[in-house]
Amino acid sequence: MGSRKHNSAEARKAEMKLKVMARLNNVPTSPRKMRLVADLVRGMEAEKGLLVLKTTRKEAAQRLYGLLKSAIANWQIKNEGVRMEDAGLFIREIQVDGGRMIKRLRTAPQGRANRIRKRSNHVTLVLGDNLKTEEVSNDNQTN
């Protein structure tokens, strides 16, 4: 591997160590319904997002609530000894992509059949904290 590729690979590895994320794959809900709930919490603080998801009466909210709790647990594993309240955790990025589609047939009038598409989705949630963003901005100012 050349030095340029090696340096960029090392930079990517270091960036991934700072990134805290959680994924939810093949959720049997349509992406459109999941995006409605994801748009509610995008950019919010983590604690406030948990409260909003807990009180939202949609099935997708329960799944995102568990995903956000998982992302917070991942952050706590990477940052032992730091309190969540002091870090200022927020939902940096939440992305809902379409998953695989199960296709079924439903009978229709006059001997025809209509295709039913049962959609699923993949959700990726990335947390950010004010601690790391402050450190990065301080490093950029000193250089």
Q: Which residues of the chain have pLDDT under 70?
A: 1, 132-143
111, two tokens: 């001997």
In this predicted structure, what is the pLDDT of residue 42?
A: 95
In the three-class reduction of DSSP (H, G, I as helix; E, B as strand; rest coil), residue 47 is classed as: helix
What was the pLDDT predicted at 129? Answer: 84
| Res 132: pLDDT | 56
- What pLDDT shows up at residue 135? 55
- As given in the structure block, the two tokens for residue 30 are 């349509």
Query: E strand or H helix at 107, and its extent?
Result: strand 102-107
pTM of the model: 0.82
